[in-house]
Each structure stands twice: as structure tokens, then as C-alpha cells.
Amino acid sequence: MAMHRFTPIQYFSTIGAHAPVLKIEPGDSVETTTVDAAGRDKSGEQVALGGNPMTGPFFIVGAEVGDTLAVHLDAITPNRAYGWGRAQIAPNVVDPDFVPQLPWPQVGVRPLAEWNVDMSTGQASLTSPATTRPIVLPIEPMLGCFGVAPAGNEAISTATSAQHGGNMDYRRFVAGTTAYFPVLTPGALFFLGDGHALQGDGEMAGTGVEISCDVRFTVDLRKGWTINWPRGENEEYIWTVGNARPLDQATQHATTEMIRWLMADYDMDAITANTLLGQVVEYDLGNMFDPAYTMVCKVAKRRLR
């Protein structure tokens, strides 16, 4: 139950079986920092190449293939005032024949939205571009990209997500939640990064309010509890995460994983799980921008008692 303080000096743009930066035990906590999606740290300095550079990987002692890694997000705190994003909905989330009716920047240019993130008031205020109405929103800091090394020696870009987690951009992975990842390689190898001060459902602009963060998390190990897709829980809900394109397939993955969970751990046969799920299930659109989209299947804990 040690508390580690870890200051990253390098970052990874793929999630894979890279050399671990720290070995930790189940029950241990880590305080560390993440840079923003473009590789800029708390002082705004570019310390890594862009594309969701990751802090880690952390080797969890005793983690073996077939186990599940539990990561409790204790605290996610933006550590600077400057956040940025896109001032443009992504072209794939509107009707194709509506795309030409929207303003588009020149090829290769991203229209930048700049935000002032004030931790004392808990608010983010858009400072640029000029808008016809002021935009001031409450912050809800979250991790966009985190997960474990994938199976089969793959090294997967932090632009995307799969069964190992990755760039899920699901806005309910906030402090206070626990995320579960299948252990796919010895030691699990946990990575994290891509903090957002806030984000809408679906990350429809292709970004949240991107920002560097101080993060504290605590790991635990569920020996022999095998899962197929990332899962999560908070006080109100349990959930399963499907990462794939299109949304239909992401939904199929998440729903299948939830049925498996209900049948394995909640005393339900298939008929019970199916009948209950049909009338109580909820879904969140995690992201509809990244190479793999994310859909989340949720069941309220009060429906499971």
C-alpha cells in the first residue's frame, strides 16, 4: 500500500510492451503527471511528440494474463490554466451533404479553441475564437487515453482504442471511478495520459479541453477474474466499454461484455440477464471521432441489488 511519486522523463505514443518505468504492488498508489494531447506539460513546454503521449508504463507485480487490473482514479487535477481544443465539429459526425455548408479551415489546419481553466472556480472559459455568445462551462477532469499493453506484442497507437483500453475518450472516467482492464501481458503495463478538463459525449469536436494534469491512482489486481473489454464502475453504475467502428459494433461489444458480467457475477442465467437488461440498460456515446469509436453499456447498481 505504498504511495509512489513518479515524474516522467519520456513518453510513449504507442501502448505496447515497452520497458516499465516503475514496478508497483497491488494496493499501491501513484502520484504522477500527464502531458496534454500535443505533448505539452504544466509550463506549456513541449516535452513529447503529439498524439496523446503516455506516462508509464507501470509494471504491476503479480499481474498475469487472465487477471484483471483495477485502476481507481483518485484524483485528476489540471495543473495549468491553459486548455485547448477544436472549434469545429468533426466532419464524420454530421450528414455528409451538410459538410460543405460548414466553415472548414485549409487542409492541415485545425481551427483552435483556447480555454482558460480556473480550478478555483471550477470553470473553463473560451478565450478564442470570438463567438456570438460567451462560453463558460464547469470542468469535469477526465482521462481520455489509458490502458494496458495489448496481447501478442502489438504496439497500438494512442490515437485509437481496443480491448486493452487506450484512447476511449469516455467522459465519465473521472476521479472517483474505477476502471478495469484485462491483463494481456505479464505485469499488465499500465499507461495513462490525454487529460481533458471537460468533454462532451462522443468527443464530437475531436478533442475535449486538452490539458496537462496531476493524477493520482491506486491499482489492485483481481486474480483469475478474466474480462474481454475494459469495464468501469462508480457509486451509481457498473459499465462495460466497447471500442470499434462503427457505433453498432462498439455497442455489440459492450452489450456482450455486460451480459457476461451479469451472468458471471450477479447470479443471473441468460434469460434473467437478457430480460433485465432489455428494460434497464443505459448507453453512453464515449467517442465518435477516434479510429475506434467507443460505446458504453451501463446498469445502475440499484437494479442489481
Residues 264-303 that bind its own copies (CB under 8 A): 266-272, 274-285, 288, 293, 295, 303
Helix axes 270-280, 247-265, angle to 10 degrees: 130
Part in contact with its own copies (CB under 8 A); list of ranges 28-36, 71-79, 106-114, 230-238: 106-114
Name, in order, each residue with C-beta under 8 angstroms of 171's C-beta and a sequence gap of 6 or more.
Answer: 140, 142, 196, 198, 199, 200, 201, 203, 208, 286
DSSP 100-144: GGS--PPTT---EEEEEEETTTTEEEEEES--SS--EEE---EEE
Closest approach of Cβ 124 to its own copies, in Å? 8
Name, in order, each residue with C-beta under 8 angstroms of 132's C-beta and a sequence gap of 6 or more.
Answer: none
Tell me, by CB under 8 A, how many residues bind its own copies: 89
Q: Which is nearer to its own copies, 65 or 98 (CB)?
A: 98
Q: Which is nearer to its own copies, 22 or 276 (CB)?
A: 276
Regarding 16 and contact with its own copies (CB under 8 A), the answer is: yes
Residues 59-78 that bind its own copies (CB under 8 A): none
Residues 171-230 that bind its own copies (CB under 8 A): 198-209
Q: Which is nearer to its own copies, 163 or 218 (CB)?
A: 163
Q: Which is nearer to its own copies, 13 or 234 (CB)?
A: 13
Pick the binder of its own copies from 66, 104, 223, 265 (CB under 8 A).
104
Name, in order, each residue with C-beta under 8 angstroms of 81's C-beta and a sequence gap of 6 or more.
Answer: 116, 117, 118, 119
Q: Which is nearer to its own copies, 33 or 199 (CB)?
A: 199
Residue 291 cell numbers, joined: 479510429
Q: Which is nearer to its own copies, 29 or 123 (CB)?
A: 123
Regarding 7 and contact with its own copies (CB under 8 A), the answer is: no
State the amino acid at position 169 in one-letter form.
Answer: D
Residues 108-137 that bind its own copies (CB under 8 A): 111, 113, 124, 126, 129-133, 135, 137
Q: Which is nearer to its own copies, 183 or 288 (CB)?
A: 288
CA–CA dist 245, 217 (Å, integer) = 30
- Whose cell is 478533442? That residue is 207
Exposure string of 65-102, with b = 16+ CB inside 10 Å and e = fewer, is: eebbbbbbbeebebbbebbbbbbbbbeeeeeeeeeeee
Pick the binder of its own copies from 23, 99, 264, 265 (CB under 8 A).
99
Pick the binder of its own copies from 71, 87, 184, 192 (CB under 8 A).
87
- Residue 269: Cβ-neighbour burial (10 angstroms; 0-12, 13-18, 19+): exposed
Pick the binder of its own copies from 100, 109, 224, 235 (CB under 8 A).
100
Regarding 235 and contact with its own copies (CB under 8 A), the answer is: no
Going residue by residue from 152 to 181, which x/- string records binding to its own copies, judged by CB under 8 A?
xxxxxx------------------------
Going residue by residue from 42 to 61, which x/- string records binding to its own copies, judged by CB under 8 A?
---------x----------
Residue 171 cell numbers, joined: 467522459
